Amino acid sequence: MTTDSRGTLLRWIFLAPTMLGVGLFVLVPIVGSLVLAFFRWDIITSPRFVGLQNFTDLAADSTVAVSFLNTAVFVVVAVAAQLAIAMLLAVLVQSRMPAWLRVFFRSTFFFPLVLSAASVSILMKYLFNESYGVINWALSLVGIPAVPWLTSPQWAMVVVIAVYVWQNFGFSFLLFIGGLAAVPQEVYEAGAIDGATGWRRFRHLTLPLVSPTVLVASVMAIISALQVFDQPYVLTRGGPGDSTRTVVMVIYESAFRELEFGRASAIGLVLMVLIMLVTAAQFRLARRFVFYQ
């Protein structure tokens, strides 16, 4: 064998596991989803072609509509909170302080990210318990009556958002730390001469300079928030009522509880298109607001 043909052989052997795997477990399923969305199928009886009915039914189904609305509220509030908290803490951590203290804070805020969302939701469920949870106990110390955290529709969404943000702000924080570290020190020194300090310095110097990082962080935060499942599933199972039911929960329930595989595929496709649209919109907006050095 020549070196060339050995190289060709090696190349295909090396590519095979990844290409075959990606083909079989991602590409084929995407096509499968596209096809399945036009059928009604419960695995037991044979699939029946229903055209666009799965999609038109979605609009009429109140649970589906509510789940999209819940997800929209969740994404807006959770992502805004996640980015704001992460940015505030990143700016604070990157300001002047002893190195060991900076390492401590950085690691601390990063820590929840390595835990399992299911485990975190279990422990948070106990902390937010209405009658024996630590949070209501702490509130009672300052005279605030018990809050029905997981049993009232409004508060349940607040808890789902809080638990999600608690676990995920560290990711945006990590990106912001990197973005802030790349801002050249001279910019601040020049700004200081012109009297830019505090909030003005942040608004007119720091923020424009880290805007590319803010864009990336917000795209990634929105994409992952649109897919939220573990927290509402473990904390509330979507309740009370449908108040915390998210799109992915409805996909799961349609497919694996109600055996409506066509409907589940249709919702999944809508979600995928939504994710693509949001991403495209953000990059369009970026042209106007992001400042590239």
Partner 1 sequence: MTRKLPSLARYAALAVAAVLTLGPVWWTFTTSLRPAAESFSLPPSFFPLSPDFSSYAAVFEQIGVPLLVLNSALVTGVIAVGQMITAAMAGYVFARMEFRGKNALFAIVLSTMMVPAQVTIVPVFMLIRGMGLSDTLLALILPAIPTAFGTFLMRQYFLGLPLELGEAAAIDGASPWRTFSSIYAPLALPGMAIVGVLAFNFHWNEFFRPLIFMISEQNYTLPLGLVTLQGNLGTGSISVVLAGVVLSMVPAVVVFLFGQRYLREGLTAGASK
CA distance 277 to 280: 5
The only residue of 122, 181, 277, 285 in contact with partner 1, by rule CB under 8 A: 122
Q: Are 109 and 170 in contact (CB under 8 A)?
A: yes
Indicate whether 108 belongs to the interface with partner 1 (CB under 8 A): yes
Indicate whether 150 belongs to the interface with partner 1 (CB under 8 A): no
Indicate whether 45 belongs to the interface with partner 1 (CB under 8 A): no
Indicate whether 256 belongs to the interface with partner 1 (CB under 8 A): yes
Q: How far is the CB of 51 from partner 1 (least distance, A)?
A: 19
Beta-strand relationship, 48-49 and 39-40: antiparallel
Site for partner 1, residues 271 to 290, rule: CB under 8 A: 271-272, 275-276, 279
Q: How far is the CB of 65 from partner 1 (least distance, A)?
A: 19
Indicate whether 154 belongs to the interface with partner 1 (CB under 8 A): no
CA distance 37 to 285: 32
The only residue of 115, 144, 181, 285 in contact with partner 1, by rule CB under 8 A: 115
The only residue of 50, 66, 81, 88 in contact with partner 1, by rule CB under 8 A: 88
Give the 3-state secondary structure of 48-77: EECCCHHHHHHHHCHHHHHHHHHHHHHHHH
Residue 13 is encoded by which pair of tokens?
């052997």
Q: Are 153 and 132 in contact (CB under 8 A)?
A: no
CA distance 83 to 105: 17
User: Residue 286: helix, strand or coil by DSSP?
Assistant: helix
Indicate whether 253 belongs to the interface with partner 1 (CB under 8 A): no
The only residue of 166, 183, 239, 278 in contact with partner 1, by rule CB under 8 A: 166
Indicate whether 190 belongs to the interface with partner 1 (CB under 8 A): no
The only residue of 80, 84, 92, 277 in contact with partner 1, by rule CB under 8 A: 92
Indicate whether 19 belongs to the interface with partner 1 (CB under 8 A): yes
CA distance 247 to 225: 11
Residue 205 is encoded by which pair of tokens?
């110097």
Indicate whether 188 belongs to the interface with partner 1 (CB under 8 A): no
Indicate whether 209 belongs to the interface with partner 1 (CB under 8 A): no
The only residue of 95, 143, 186, 288 in contact with partner 1, by rule CB under 8 A: 95
Site string for partner 1, 46-75 (x = CB under 8 A): ------------------------------
The only residue of 112, 148, 191, 208 in contact with partner 1, by rule CB under 8 A: 112
Distance of CA 187 to the CA centre of its chain: 33
Mark out the alpha helices in 111-141 (DSSP H runs).
117-127, 134-141
Q: How far is the CB of 291 from partner 1 (least distance, A)?
A: 18
Indicate whether 220 belongs to the interface with partner 1 (CB under 8 A): yes
CB contact set of 265 (below 8 Å; sequence gap of 6+)? 32, 33, 34, 36, 37, 54
